[in-house]
Amino acid sequence: MAVLDKLAAMGRSGGYWLALLLLGLAMEGMALFYQYRLDYPPCVLCIHVRIWLLGLMGVAALALWLRHYPLWMAGLHGLVALLMGGMLERSWQLLGTERGWIFGSCNMDAGLPDWFALDRWFPALFEVKEACGYTPELLFGVTMAEGLLLFSTLLALLATGLLLATLLTGNRR
């Protein structure tokens, strides 16, 4: 049980949630750097990934505030797992489009409802600028689609592990 207790404690720590928040901010910043400085305009799948990251940052900020309330921890870890599952799906679509084994999953409409029209409210961040096809290389031949797929997979697994540890330890301190 020592491992579960350590995982549950990590999931309650402010450092974990702050790291998630800063990681989300860094990834959004990197996306904007690629868009505005390196001239790689975002496709609809890239915009969807940005929205999932926005959700992650929102949950992390909320968790920083609610981390001392044990009943909230399981729900917040579950939300992170769901958000990363959504980002994983979009990253898979992006990689499949880039590699050519998924067709027709990309257009120029973000598909957001009027009550959540981020593409109209914040076009500098969420407006679709081009059709899908490829993503830029990050480092060592790894493309952005590959990096996003790896990141979302690892974070979904971590969040699921923290959720299980939180539930199995009963949130004991």
Judged by DSSP in three states, 142 sits in strand
> pTM for this one?
0.89
Going by C-beta distance under 8 Å and a sequence separation of 6 or more, which residues neighbour residue 26? Answer: none
What is residue 4's predicted lDDT score, i.e. its pLDDT? 82
How many percent of the chain have pLDDT more than 70? 97
Q: How many domains does one find in the chain?
A: 1
Phi/psi at 139 (nearest 5 deg)?
-145, 150
**pLDDT score of 141 more than 90:** no
| C-alpha–C-alpha distance, residues 17 and 115, integer Å | 28
Q: What is the pLDDT of residues 38-60, one digit of tens each?
A: 999 998 999 999 999 999 999 99
Beta strands (DSSP E) in 28-103 are none
The enclosing domain of 60 has a CATH number of: 1.20.1550.10
Boundaries of domain holding 21 = 2-169
What is residue 104's predicted lDDT score, i.e. its pLDDT? 67
Q: What is the pLDDT of residues 81-106, one digit of tens each?
A: 999 999 999 999 989 888 878 776 67
Q: Rounded mean pLDDT of the chain?
A: 88
Residue 32 near residue 142 (C-beta atoms within 8 A): no
* Residue 171 binned pLDDT confidence (cut-offs 50, 70, 90): low
